[in-house]
């Protein structure tokens, strides 16, 4: 059977404050009623005040022991009513809260149903007995039978409304608490699955890169080892052949670097590998495509544009592409997104910011999954750094900085 969580310390403190407030209000109402001369004329004032305090006091435990609290309140109410020392205002709220708490907090739902039913029957019987005795009271004849029955009907309607409302609202509070627990559990499970999927995606990408790198590196390094060994043996015998072998070593190293670069481009690229990898020159088209799709994007270049390595250009392009995708998902299509490309001495910096004024959901978690992890690893592989997070004045910031020497000087 599903059970809602036990009340915490703050809930118990709130119940203590509620009980104290209702006891105080009850005592004040007793004093005011006595001043009117309509109630408590023939009884000591401390008796109705004590009844008001005793009726409210059990509410301190209304979440932990709701059945005992409601039963105790019903007994106090009937005894005080028989003695003529029950005030008629705050006492109704105290009785309502106790009866409501059975439906809202009792984990045994069958017991909650039957206890409430018994309380209703007992209270109804007591009110009926009071009505019969009141009918034969001499004052009834003086006021008139019609007035008596009108007052009786008012009491019946009030009690039906109070007990019926407390029963209904108590059940709904229990059902709502269980639904919140189910939603919280489902949310936690989804978050755990998202984290697991992100880790799996990163692990699979690493395995894929490792296999490809092994094939390329093993081929060229083994060739370089053979050529270097031949050069060592021929160095004192035939200098020309040794130099030729060293040239082959140099060429193998260049080929390895070229193939590794092409391999990384292929692994990171989202196309079929037949076209050239996008770079800085493709940023304008990327921004134009985002603008065409409905985003508000502005591209700014700071510094003197220069040629950078294909890997630096591809990394910058993919970082901007992922950041624009996250802004579209989380900041909304009407958010203003600014893309800045800074050409620094021997470094390249791309910065993507949005103002967070869009209509997207989850604006506080831009790219919290594999996208941000992929950007960070991509930039880190270049020897650079990535900064991503909320801005102090609202919105989101992604800033990537990576080595990018001027190729025109090499």
Does 237 map to a domain? yes
CATH label of the domain that carries residue 226:
1.20.5.1930
Count of structural domains, the chain: 3
- Give the pair of three-digit tokens for residue 211: 């296999």
pLDDT in tens, 371-408: 677 788 878 888 899 999 888 888 899 999 999 887 76
Q: The pTM is what?
A: 0.51
Query: Mean pLDDT score of the chain, rounded to an integer?
Result: 81
What's the rounded Cα separation, in Å, for the pair 222 and 255?
A: 13
Boundaries of domain holding 88? 9-136
Does 328 map to a domain? yes
The whole-angstrom distance between residue 274's C-alpha and the CA centroid of its chain comes to 43
What's the rounded Cα separation, in Å, for the pair 292 and 57?
A: 67
What's the rounded Cα separation, in Å, for the pair 330 and 226?
A: 55
CATH label of the domain that carries residue 393:
3.30.565.10
Does 59 map to a domain? yes
Q: Tell me which of 77-81, 123-127, 203-207, 379-383 is least confident.
A: 203-207
Residues 337 and 377 in one domain: yes
Residues 259 and 194 in one domain: yes
Does 1 map to a domain? no
Residues 290 and 312 in one domain: yes
Does 332 map to a domain? yes
pLDDT in tens, 326-381: 887 777 667 899 999 999 988 999 999 998 765 444 444 555 555 677 788 878 88
Residues 18 and 112 in one domain: yes
The pLDDT, as a whole number, for residue 157 is: 85
Q: What is the percent of the chain where pLDDT is above 70?
A: 80
The pLDDT, as a whole number, for residue 322 is: 84
Comparison of pLDDT for 360 and 190, the residue scoring more? 190
Last residue of a domain, one of 248, 268, 288: 268
Comparison of pLDDT for 178 and 1, the residue scoring more? 178
The pLDDT, as a whole number, for residue 273 is: 43
Residues 88 and 129 in one domain: yes
Last residue of a domain, one of 217, 238, 268: 268
409 φ, ψ to 5°?
A: -90, -10
Does 249 map to a domain? yes
Residues 289 and 403 in one domain: yes
Residues 392 and 296 in one domain: yes
Give yes or no for residue 232 having a pLDDT over 50: yes
Residues 299 and 341 in one domain: yes
Say which residues have a Cβ less than 8 Å from residue 55's Cβ, sequence separation at least 6: 22, 26, 73, 76, 77, 80, 86, 91, 94, 95
Radius of gyration of the chain (CA): 40
Residues 263 and 294 in one domain: no
Does 161 map to a domain? no
Q: Tell me the pLDDT band of 275, cut-offs 50, 70 and 90.
A: very low
Secondary structure letter of residue 39 according to DSSP = S
The pLDDT, as a whole number, for residue 27 is: 93
Give yes or no for residue 274 having a pLDDT over 50: no
Last residue of a domain, one of 210, 244, 268: 268
Does 152 map to a domain? no
Comparison of pLDDT for 316 and 222, the residue scoring more? 316
How far apart, in Å, are the Cα atoms of 238 and each of 227, 247, 249, 263, 318?
Answer: 14, 14, 17, 37, 50
The pLDDT, as a whole number, for residue 143 is: 57
The pLDDT, as a whole number, for residue 50 is: 94
């Amino acid at each position: 059977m599903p059970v809602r969580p036990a009340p915490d310390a703050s809930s118990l403190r709130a119940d203590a404050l509620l009980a104290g407030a209702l006891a105080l209000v009850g005592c004040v109402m007793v004093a005011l009623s006595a001043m009117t001369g309509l109630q408590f004329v023939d009884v000591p004032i401390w008796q109705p005040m004590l009844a008001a305090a005793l009726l409210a006091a059990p509410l301190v435990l209304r979440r932990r022991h709701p059945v005992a609290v409601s039963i105790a309140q019903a007994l106090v109410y009937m005894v005080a009513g028989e003695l003529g020392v029950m005030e008629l205002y705050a006492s109704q709220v105290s009785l309502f809260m106790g009866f409501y708490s059975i439906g809202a907090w009792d984990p045994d739902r069958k017991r909650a149903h039957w206890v409430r039913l018994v309380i209703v029957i007992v209270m109804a019987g007591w009110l009926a007995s009071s009505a019969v005795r009141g009918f034969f009271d001499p004052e009834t004849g003086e006021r008139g039978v019609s007035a008596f029955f009108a007052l009786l009907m008012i009491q019946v309607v009030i009690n039906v409304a109070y007990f019926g409302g407390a029963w209904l609202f108590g059940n709904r509070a229990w059902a709502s608490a269980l639904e919140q627990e189910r939603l919280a559990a489902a949310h936690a499970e989804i978050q755990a699955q998202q984290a697991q999927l992100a880790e799996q995606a990163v692990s699979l990408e690493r395995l894929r890169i490792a296999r490809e790198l092994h094939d390329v590196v093993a081929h060229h390094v083994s060739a370089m080892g053979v050529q270097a060994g031949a050069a060592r043996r021929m160095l004192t015998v035939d200098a020309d052949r040794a130099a030729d072998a060293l040239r082959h070593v140099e060429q193998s190293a260049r080929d390895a670097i070229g193939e590794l670069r092409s391999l990384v481009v292929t692994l990171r690229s989202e196309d079929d590998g037949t076209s050239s990898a996008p770079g800085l020159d493709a940023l304008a088209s990327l921004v134009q495509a985002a603008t065409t799709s409905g985003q508000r994007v502005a591209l700014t270049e700071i510094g003197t544009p220069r040629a950078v390595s294909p890997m630096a250009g591809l990394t910058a392009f993919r970082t901007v592409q992922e950041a624009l995708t996250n802004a579209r998902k989380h900041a909304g299509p009407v958010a203003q997104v600014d893309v800045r490309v800074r050409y620094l001495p021997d470094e390249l910096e791309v910065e993507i910011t949005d103002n967070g004024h869009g209509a997207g959901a989850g604006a506080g978690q831009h790219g919290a999954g594999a996208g941000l992890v992929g950007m960070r690893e991509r930039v880190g592989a270049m020897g650079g750094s990535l900064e991503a997070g909320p801005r102090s004045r609202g919105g989101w910031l992604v800033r990537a900085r990576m080595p990018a020497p001027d190729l025109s000087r090499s």
